Structure 1
Amino acid sequence: MRLGLSTPVVVQTPGVASAWENGAGIDDVVRIAKVADELGFDYLTCSEHVAVPADQGAGRGFVYWDPVATLAFLAAHTSGIRLATSIVVLGYHHPLEIAKTYGTLDLISGGRVVLGVGVGSIEAEFAMLGSSWPDRGARADDAIRALRTSLSDPRPSYDGQFYRFSDVIVEPCAVQPHLPIWVGGRTPRSLRRAVQLCDGWMPFGLGGRALTEMLASVDIPDGFDVVLGPGPLDPLGDPARTERRLRGLRDVGATIINCSITAESVGHYCDQLAALRALADTIEQEDA
């Protein structure tokens, strides 16, 4: 059973983040990253918001560490765990900027980047950054196509609806011949975008029935990742519920489970990671 980690501290969403995360720092995140790496977790995440409007913090929170700086630092302290953006907002960047930034991260991490992308959901943030809001979906599709041609090619060219480039050199580029791109979102369109253009889908805020219906509506390609989150888990305090959530998401169609964990301290968090890994391994052995 593949388990990814929705990294604590670097994003603090109300109702999800534990109290200890407020005031925690990079040393705590590194400690968790090392433990997750040693336990065989699939990836760590970091999200992107440049500036959250002050009137939207109640639902989203305000803490969003920069994904490039954060994941690059964690790359230096880990060896095998992948580094996933969850997500990069496509409308905030030119595709070549993303290709250079995350291609460099892929190089220095030894080919461990997963590029999670999305169309964005805060109109005020788009306006502040001078990005186009009404056509963000079409621009995102074009950006993904441009990225697919650019991430692993030092001499990319592309001629699309919104982005066009040729006769350029982008060095360094990604060392993975096919760097995985996952799409975030919660709509049927986000799933279609993922299936048609990318390598995985990582939805949020959807119940089991909605997920089942949406996944049944498309033909899932071979090797396509469905990355589902069970909500905050407490494997030490409530292992039975944790097991039900893991099994339930696997039965819905998850190929990777994106885990967030409740804890009282960084030490407790690391203990929870070990308990979660052991529980997932037990489930896998029982069902083998």
Structure 2
Amino acid sequence: MQIGVSTPVVFQFPGSCSKWERDGEIEDLAEIAQAADELGFAYLTCAEHVAVPVEVAAQRGGTYWDPAVTLAYLAACTQRIKLATSVVVLGYHHPLALAKRYGTLDRISGGRLVLGVGVGSLPEEFDLLGADFANRGVRADDAMRALRAALSQREPVYSGTHYEFEGMLVEPHAVQARVPLWVGGRSLRSLRRACAFGDGWMPFGLSDSALGEMLAKVELPEGFEVVLPAGPLDPGGDPEGTTRRLVELREAGATGVTVTIAAESSAHYRDQLASLRQLADGMEANVR
């Protein structure tokens, strides 16, 4: 089971982020990314919101660093760890704009992109950007088909229900022959979308029982990733609880876990990463 890190500072969710993150500096972010890379964690994440209504921010958070810019910076700070959007909202972008922006990121990172995508859920943000909220699901399906046709191609060709392109040059493009596409969501439709067009599913806000019921209703493709959230975890202060939660998620069907880590400072966060690595390694050793 791979373990990725919900990058601190860049996304501050009420009730989950630590107090130190509110004043976190870019140097903190670089040091944490380097520590996660050196410790062998699977990926770092960054979410997307352009603008969140003030009244919504109290529940969803209001701090969202731009994922393309942020992950490009993290690419320069690291060597091996993958860089995952969690998630980009498909309705806010033309597929070729995503193919260019994140294909460039894949190239400068040496093929480390994981493109997490979602349909979006904030009507106010859709309205602000002139995007179609009512038909976001069907547009997202077509956008995913278009992305699959375009991400790794110099001269992509696609004709679908909402997007069509041919005779256009996209350079640079992704260096991976197949960029992993993970779909975010919490509905059975999002899982089916992920199985049909993607390589993985990143659900959120589901109980283990609800998750199991959904997974039982579909046939997962070979190599399909089920990436579940965990946290806030306190691997240094509560190693038993941390290990127990990771085991629970693996038994629930997770092939990957994105962890949020409780910490009192940037230095403490790095210590927590080291403790988590030891716990995860011990857990995997027991499985073998």
Q: Partner amino acid for 1:28?
A: D
Alignment correspondent of 1:132: 132
Q: Partner amino acid for 2:5?
A: L
SS in structure 2 opposite 1:168?
coil
* 2:210 pairs with 1:205: no
Alignment correspondent of 1:195: 195
Could you give the per-residue CA deviations for residues 122-156 of structure 1, whole angstroms, max 9, x where no partner exists?
Answer: 00000000000100000000000000000000100
Alignment correspondent of 1:159: 159
Distance 1:287 1:227 in 2: 19
Alignment correspondent of 2:225: 225
TM value normalised by structure 2: 0.99
Alignment correspondent of 1:28: 28
Distance 2:258 2:41 in 1: 10
Alignment correspondent of 1:66: 66
Q: CA deviation at 1:221?
A: 1.1
- Structure 1 segments (4+ residues) deviating >4 Å: none
SS in structure 2 opposite 1:50?
coil
* 2:229 pairs with 1:242: no
- Can you give the 5+ residue segments of structure 1 that lack an aligned partner in the other structure? none
Q: CA deviation at 1:258?
A: 0.6
How many residues in Structure 1 have an aligned counterpart in Structure 2?
288
* 2:23 pairs with 1:18: no
Q: CA deviation at 1:2?
A: 1.3
Distance 1:231 1:273 in 2: 13
Q: CA deviation at 1:252?
A: 0.7
Alignment correspondent of 1:284: 284
- Can you give the 5+ residue segments of structure 2 that lack an aligned partner in the other structure? none
SS in structure 2 opposite 1:258?
strand
Distance 2:38 2:206 in 1: 31
Alignment correspondent of 2:84: 84
* 2:124 pairs with 1:115: no
Could you give the per-residue CA deviations for residues 181-226 of structure 1, whole angstroms, max 9, x where no partner exists?
Answer: 0000000000000011100000111111011111111111111110
Distance 2:90 2:281 in 1: 36
Distance 1:283 1:105 in 2: 33
Task: Provide the identity percentage.
Answer: 61
Compute the RMSD of aligned alpha carbons.
Answer: 0.6
TM value normalised by structure 1: 0.99
* 2:274 pairs with 1:274: yes
SS in structure 1 opposite 2:257?
strand
Distance 1:25 1:49 in 2: 20
Q: Partner amino acid for 1:8?
A: P
